[in-house]
Amino acid sequence: MPAAALTQAQLEQMLAARVFNLAKPPPPAEPVYTIKEVVVSTPGNLTVINAAVKTGKSAVIGAFLASAMKEDKRADTLGVESSNPKGLALIHLDTEQSIEDHWAGVERALKRAGRSDAPSWLGSFSLAGLSAATNQATLKYIVGKSAERFGGIHSILIDGVADLVTDVNNTAECDPFVASLHGLAIQYRCPIVNVIHFNPGTEKTRGHLGSQLERKAESNLTLVKKGDMTEVFSLKQRRRPIPRGSGPRFKYSQAAGMHVTDWEGEFTFTQLAAMTAEVEAAFEGKDGMRHKDLVFTVMTVTSKSDRTAERKIEDYRHAGLVEETDGIYRPAKPL
């Protein structure tokens, strides 16, 4: 509702809910999505994924989906980590691909997550070919109904946010739209992840819409492809950046039928040295451990959470530092 349309009573009520009060701190902003331990999406905020055409952006959105749905701890989610223990609604809107390609993309996300079924709280919709006004109305309708059914929203992923406006260069249209999108994230206390293309031949996000999203987003993720390899990095964000050269790298695998992490080029010499020291400390005096015991030990050694410890164990495995046989993890070579 435009500010001019608010009555004095409505304005006072709105301000009362937003005024700073030292005695009433807001609930802590728990990370919803991280990439290699860097927080990229928190409740009430926007995240932007910028990419040229054919760089693997749909694979990254699929990795976001898979990270929240995964049942297999070894699932390759291209460096993206999340969870959804409360079973809140996860909403995915695809405005660009055909119905067939949308279906195949979600099926790959389920495969990536190690699932044979889709959770009831996943709401993925193909909106290609619909008008901007219809897409906006559909988004609000789906969010409202899903929040009511599942008790809240985990996150909203919009693959093709430019299709929710009629003119990406129209300031009068794009600024209110981005404000309403941010308002939706705040209202439902969830992040909204938006995919938008670069202008052709540049690394400039498309139109005024892209510029306004960049300004309002907490994280701006960039996908750059060189040869058959795509890297994810982020320099424009409120929290810790993901410098170019240190982000996840992935490429398409014919054998897997989807994009996979480039494990060979994933770790720097410094990272390998640090991981080797962690493995040595974890296995000191032990020949092997079951997964739950190794998780606890890595948590103790690194002072990290259980989720981070699990991710670290997979990194150790992919780096060739540990191996697993019949549920027992051991150092891959004498330490």
Tens-place pLDDT, residues 49-77: 998 888 888 999 999 999 999 988 788 99
Contact 95, 159 (CB under 8 A): yes
- The token duo for 233 is 């990095």
Instruction: State residue 14's pLDDT score.
Output: 83
CA-closest candidate to residue 50, choices 307, 232, 201: 232
- Return residue ranges of the chain for CATH 3.40.50.300: 27-264
CATH 3.40.50.300 describes domain 27-264: yes
Span 16-27, average pLDDT? 86
Distance CA(323)–CA(317), nearest Å, equals 6
On the question of pLDDT at 155 being above 90, the answer is yes
Alpha carbon 102 to its chain's center: 18
Rounded to the nearest integer, the mean pLDDT of the chain is 90
Query: Tell me, which fold does domain 269-331 have in CATH?
Result: Arc Repressor Mutant, subunit A (1.10.10)
What pTM, to 2 d.p., does this model score?
0.80
∠ CA 159-205-217, nearest 5°, is 70
- Return residue ranges of the chain for CATH 1.10.10.10: 269-331
Span 75-98, average pLDDT? 95
Span 177-198, average pLDDT? 95
Distance CA(144)–CA(140), nearest Å, equals 6
CA-closest candidate to residue 151, choices 115, 204, 190: 190
Alpha carbon 105 to its chain's center: 16
CA-closest candidate to residue 312, choices 265, 278, 270: 278
- List, in sequence order, every residue forming a beta bridge with 250; answer none if it has no partner: 230, 261
Instruction: State residue 333's pLDDT score.
Output: 63
Phi and psi angles of residue 99, each rounded to the nearest 5 degrees, phi first: -60, -40
Element (H, E) at 149: helix 132-150
Tens-place pLDDT, residues 242-261: 888 888 899 999 988 999 98
What's the one-letter identity of residue 90? L
Instruction: State residue 203's pLDDT score.
Output: 67
CA-closest candidate to residue 136, choices 173, 172, 89, 105: 173
44 sits in the region (left: phi over 0; alpha: psi -120 to 50; else beta) called: left
- List, in sequence order, every residue forming a beta bridge with 197; answer none if it has no partner: 51
Contact 262, 76 (CB under 8 A): no
DSSP structure class, residue 87: -
DSSP structure class, residue 289: E
- Between the alpha carbon of residue 92 and those of residues 61, 139, 154, 156, 284, the distances in Å are 9, 10, 11, 6, 45
If pLDDT is split at 50, 70 and 90, which confidence band does 3 have? very low
